[in-house]
Structure 1
Amino acid sequence: MLSLDEKTIRSSFINASQRERSNMNLPENFDTLDWDGLDFLGWGDKKYPELGYAVAWTGGRPVGVLLRQVEGKTRSRPQCAWCEDVYLPNDVVFFNTKRAGAPGRQGNTVATLVCANFECSANVRRLPPVAYLGFDVEAARVERIAALQGNVESFLRKVGGDTP
């Protein structure tokens, strides 16, 4: 992921009000982020634990969304819709977000299951187990990284109203 500055991040949000953007707290480790190891920037707000933020490059520009964690219990362990990691070393939570523009002002939302602390980029970079003799683990890792990027971009497009 290309690095971003604070001003660019705040202005990238497509479903947040000016007040929500100004109240947003950037990640504590923002100044030391390894941008090369990220497919998107995602973090939880320390002051408002129910809020999450995700920013990714879509269509040649950074696009950010404000997410709200929804409380609830699931019958089984959910799988992250973004990294699709089956060996999750972390929790997955349900996030809801209002759509951008007029649909969002009318109450339309989009929901997804995401790693609780947005560890998706780290999850897809772990080498997968060898599935069979001759299995190319590096190719599998590259494929998982591409799938994560596609899943995040698809979600951002849904929030932005670019897909039905």
Structure 2
Amino acid sequence: MEPLGQDQIRASFVNCTKGEAKGVTLPARPDEIPWDEREFLGWRDPKATARAYLVLPYQGETVGLSLRVAPRPKGRVLLSNMCGLCTTTHPLSDIALFSGRRAGKLGREGNTLGIYACSNLGCSRYIRGELKPDVPQPSETLTLEERVFRLEDKLHRFVERVLESR
């Protein structure tokens, strides 16, 4: 991913107002982010833990999504679940449902889309082995390049669905 400044990150959001984008708490100083090792910039808002953000390159532009994090379900029998982006298996407490308002008219009408993903949005770090999940992983024979492609493909499909009505 190409390095981005704070203004570029804030200007990238497609499913929230300019005022909401201006109020986004950014994850770190942009010069501290290892951009060349990330397929996307994803973070949870430390001031509002029910908010999260994704920023990524998509079809030649930078697209940012404002997301809501659903509360953990109570009484679930599942002990683990798989991230819908990087396919890392986690204990159920480390997977979250992220939902985002759709762009354009559909979003203004209240339509949203969701995806189950690593609750820390550390998918780029998991596929590289920088982070280790707390549960054993299924054996996988894909190369890093193939895992990166799969992650980018899943991200782009999600963004495409959010943007459909724009």
- Structure 2 length as normaliser, TM-score? 0.85
5 Å-filtered alignment, 1:42-121, equals 42-73=42-73, 74-76=76-78, 77-86=80-89, 91-121=94-124
Q: CA 1:32 to 1:159, structure 2 compared with 1: closer, same or farther past 3 Å?
A: same
Give the 3 Å change call, closer, same or farther, for CA 105–29 of structure 1 in structure 2.
same
Amino acid at match of 2:18: Q
Measured on the aligned residues, the alpha-carbon RMSD in Å equals: 2.2
Percent identity for Structure 1 against Structure 2? 31
Following superposition, the deviation at residue 87 of structure 1 comes to 6.1
Paired residue type of 1:14: V
Corresponding residue pairs, total: 155
- Mark the runs of 5 or more structure 2 residues left unpaired by the alignment: 131-136
Q: Which moved more, 1:21-30 or 1:40-49?
A: 21-30
Is 1:158 paired with 2:161? yes
Q: Unaligned 5+ residue runs, structure 1?
A: none
Q: Which amino acid aligns with 1:15?
A: N
- SS of residue matched to 1:142: helix
1:91-137 residue CA offsets vs partner (Å, 9 max, x unmatched): 1101111100110000111011111111100111129x895xxx9x6
In 2, are the aligned partners of 1:126 and 1:141 still within 8 Å (CA)? no
> Which AA in structure 1 matches 2:161?
K
SS state of the match for residue 49, structure 1?
coil
Aligned equivalent of 2:147, options 127, 134, 144: 144
Q: Kindly indicate whether residue 43 of structure 2 is the aligned counterpart of residue 40 of structure 1.
A: no
2:83–2:90 Cα contact (<8 Å) kept:
no
TM-score (norm 1): 0.86
**Using the alignment, how far apart are the partners of 2:27 and 2:101 within structure 1?**
22
CA distance in structure 2 between the aligned counterparts of 1:75 and 1:152, rounded to whole angstroms? 28
Distance in 1, matches of 2:25 and 2:102, equals 21
